[in-house]
Copies of this chain bind each other. A is one copy, B any other.
Amino acid sequence: MAAEEQSASIDPNRPMNILDALCPSRDVLVDLADKWVLLMLASLRESGVQRYSELQRSLGGISRKMLSQTLRTLERDGLVLRTVDVKMAPPLVLYELTELGREIAEETRALCTWTEKRTATVYEARAAYDRR
Contact = CB atoms under 8 A, between A and B. Distances in A.
Interface of A: 5, 10, 12, 16-22, 24-35, 37-39, 42-43, 58-61, 75-79, 100, 103-104, 107-108, 110-126, 128-130
A66 to B, nearest CB: 12
Contact of A17 (B32, B76, B116): B116
B10 A120 contact: yes
Report copies per complex.
2
A33 to B, nearest CB: 4
Contacts of A115: 18, 25, 28-29, 32
Contacts of A58: 19
B19 A42 contact: yes
Among A18, A78, A113: residue with most chain B CB under 10 A: A18
A6 to B, nearest CB: 11
